[in-house]
A and B are shown apart, each in its own frame.
Chain A
Amino acid sequence: MALYETRRRRNVLAKSLAVGATIFGLAWLVLILAVLLWEGFSGLSLAVFTQMTPPPGSAGGLLNPIAGSLVMTTIAVAIGTPLGILAGTYMAEYGRYDKLAFVVRFINDILLSAPSIVIGLFIYEVMVAQMGHFSGWAGAVSLAVIVVPVVVRTTEDMLILVPDTLREAAASIGLPRSLMIRKVAYRAARAGMVTGVLLAVARISGETAPLLFTALNNQFWSLDLNAPVASLPVVIFQFALSPYKDWQQLAWTGALIITLAVLALSIIARSLASARKSS
Chain B
Amino acid sequence: MVDVAFEGGSAMTVRDQADRAQVLQRLRIGDIAFRHLTRAAAIVVLLILGGIIVSLVIGAWPALEKFGFRFLTSEVWNPVTEKFGAIAPVYGTLVTSLIAMLIAVPVGLFIAMFLTELCPLWLRRPIGIAIELLAGIPSIIYGIWGLFVFAPFLQQHVQPFLIDTFGNVPVLGNLFAGPPYGIGVLTAGLILAIMVLPFITSISRDVFEAVPPVLKEAAYGLGSTTWEVSRYVVLPYTRVGVIGGVMLGLGRALGETMAVTFVIGNAHRVSPSLLAPGTTISATIANEFTEAVGDLYTSSLVALGLILFVITFIVLAFARLMLMRLNARVGA
Chain A positions within 8 Å of B, measured between CB atoms, are 7-8, 10-11, 13-15, 17-22, 24-26, 28-29, 31-32, 35-36, 39, 82-84, 86-87, 89-91, 93-95, 100-101, 103-104, 106-111, 113-119, 121-122, 124-126, 129, 145, 148-149, 152, 176-179, 181-182, 202, 205-209, 212-213, 216, 233, 236-237, 240-241, 248, 251-252, 255, 258-259, 262-263, 266, 270
Contact = CB atoms under 8 A, between A and B. Distances in A.
B45 A149 contact: yes
A149 B41 CA distance: 11
A107 B34 contact: no
A273 to B, nearest CB: 11
Given A7-B225, A32-B137, A110-B49, A125 B147 contact: no
Given A14-B230, A89-B38, A113 B251 contact: yes
A206 B308 contact: no
Interface string B306-326: 001100110011001000000
B38 A86 contact: yes
Contacts, number: 269
B133 interface: yes
Contacts of A177: 31, 34-35
A14 B227 contact: yes
Contact of B226 (A15, A108, A117): A15
Contacts of B27: 176, 179
Interface stretch (B54-62, B80-88, B166-174, B212-220): B54-62
Given A22-B111, A115-B312, A122 B55 contact: yes
B137 A262 contact: yes
A208 B144 CA distance: 12
Given A10-B225, A89-B38, A108 B248 contact: no
A82 to B, nearest CB: 8
Nearest to B191: A28
B113 interface: yes
A117 B286 contact: yes
B38 A90 contact: yes
B264 interface: no
A25 B140 contact: no
B127 interface: yes
A233 B55 contact: no
A243 B189 CA distance: 25
A208 B256 CA distance: 11
A19 B114 contact: yes
7 contacts: A22-B127, A104-B45, A106-B317, A121-B305, A178-B35, A205-B138, A212-B286
Contacts of B308: 115, 117-118
B250 to A, nearest CB: 10
A17 B118 CA distance: 12
Interface residues of B, number: 91
B227 A212 contact: no
B110 A21 contact: yes
A134 B55 CA distance: 17
A259 B39 contact: no
B55 A126 contact: yes
A253 B326 CA distance: 44
Given A106-B320, A109-B316, A213-B290, A206 B139 contact: yes
B181 interface: no
Contacts of B282: 115, 117, 209
A31 B231 CA distance: 31
A208 B320 contact: no
A1 to B, nearest CB: 14
A176 B25 CA distance: 11
A241 B258 CA distance: 12
B201 interface: yes
Contacts of B34: 177-178, 181-182
B289 A11 contact: no
A240 B147 contact: yes
Interface in B246-297: 248, 251-252, 254-258, 261-262, 282, 285-286, 289-290
**Nearest 9 pairs between A and B by C-beta?**
A206-B138, A115-B255, A86-B41, A21-B110, A178-B34, A90-B38, A14-B227, A11-B225, A18-B114
